Amino acid sequence: MAPPQTWGVTIISIPQDIMALTLKKSICAIFLSRDSLSIQNIRGQGYDGASNMHGEWNGLQALFLKDCSFAYYIHCFAHRLKLALVAASKEVKNVYHFFTKLTTVVNIVGVSYKRYDELQVIQAEKIAHLLAIDEIESSRELNQIGTLQRAGDTRWSSHFNSVCSLIKMFDATCSILQNIITDDSTYSQRGDADVAYDAITSFEFIFILHLMQEIMEITDNLCQALQSQSQDILNALELVSTTKVLIQKIEKRWLGSIAREGLVKTGKSVIYPLVDRLICLVLTLPVSTTTIERAFSAMKIVKTRLRNKMEDEFLANTLVVNIEKEIAEKFTIESII
C-alpha cells in the first residue's frame, strides 16, 4: 500500500475578506481544485493562532473538519512555545522589568550612528586586548564585533539574541553609557543614561541576565528543532519533555543562589550568620571528584621507582605540571629560564 501523499498550502495573496468561510473557499478554489486534490484526503491542517483560523466552531480548521473528520488541526509547536515564553516572562515581575530595562539600554546606545560607531570601536579594542593576552582564541568567523540587538514579542529568538549580545558587549555598553553621562549635551539624555547604567550594573539585573541566557539557550534549541519540516509529533513531544527536565535542573541549581542574595539584600545575613554560612557551604559543595581522581592517576604515572627517591617538593611540582597540562603547555622555555 502506497504511503499517503502529503502536501502543503501557502496563501500568498490574502483576500480582502479574511473570514474563515472566505478563506476556505479560496483554498478550495485555488489550490485543491487546481491540483485535483480532494478534501477527503486531508490528514492534517495547520495555521496560526488567530481566532478566524483555530476557532473551535467557526474557524477555518472547524470548517474543514466538518467536511473531513481526519483533518486534525495543529497549531505550530514553535509558535506556541514562543507565545508561552513571552506570556510567562510577563507574569514574572522581575523578568518583565529586566526585559524592559534591556530594551531601554539598547535604545539609548543604538539611538544614533555616532553611538553605534563608538560601541563598535570600544568592542574592537577589547577584543584586540583579549587576543593580545591570550584570553580568547583567534580563528575565522570568531570574535565578531557585532552590536546590541533588540527583542521583539513576535520573535522569541530575538530575546535570546538580545541577552547574548549584551553579555558579549557588556563592558563596551557600560563605557558608552558613562560617556553619555559625562559628555552628552542634554540633561534628559544624561539622566536616561545614568538610570540605565545603574540598572544594568545592579546585581539583580546581572543575575537575571545570566539566568535568562542559560534558560533561553535551552528553549531556543527546542524552538529551532520544532521548526524543522521533517519533525514528527512523537519526537516533538519528546523534545518538549527533555527541555522541561533541563529547565527544572537549572531551577534547582539557582534556588540556592537566590536564597543567599535574599539574605544579603535584606541584611538578614548579619542577623542569621549561621544560616548564611550554611547556604554558602551548600553552594560551594563539590559536585565532582574528577580533579582529585585525576591527581591520583597522575601520581601512579609520575612516581616511578627512580622518582620515588626525589624530594617531596620536586615530586609535587612534577605532579602539578602533569595534572595541569593545559596550563603548562602555554609556558615558554624563556619564561621558565
pLDDT tens digits for range 129-178: 777 777 666 665 555 667 788 877 666 678 888 999 999 889 889 999 99
Q: Is position 327 within any domain? A: no
Q: Where are the alpha helices (DSSP H) in 48-112?
A: 51-54, 60-67, 77-91, 93-109
Is this prediction's pTM over 0.85? no
Q: Is position 294 within any domain? A: no
Q: Is 45 helix (H, G, I), strand (E, B) or coil?
A: strand
The whole-angstrom separation of Cα 306 and Cα 321 is 18
β-partners of residue 152 are 155
β-partners of residue 155 are 152
41 and 147 share one domain: no
Q: Is position 226 within any domain? A: yes
| pLDDT score recorded for residue 220 | 84
Residue 192 has pLDDT above 70, yes or no: yes
pLDDT tens digits for range 27-68: 888 777 777 788 888 777 777 677 787 777 888 888 888 888
71 and 146 share one domain: no
The whole-angstrom separation of Cα 252 and Cα 287 is 14
The whole-angstrom separation of Cα 109 and Cα 125 is 18
Q: Which residue reads 539598547 in cell numbers?
A: 106
Residue 183 has pLDDT above 80, yes or no: yes
Domain that residue 169 falls in: 80-284
The whole-angstrom separation of Cα 323 and Cα 308 is 18
Indicate the number of domains in the chain: 2
The whole-angstrom separation of Cα 211 and Cα 209 is 5
Element (H, E) at 44: strand 44-45
Backbone angles phi and psi of 45, in degrees to 5:
-145, 140
Q: How many residues does the chain have?
A: 337
96 and 53 share one domain: no
67 and 170 share one domain: no
Residue 269 has pLDDT above 90, yes or no: no
For residue 310, what is its C-alpha cell?
Answer: 626525589
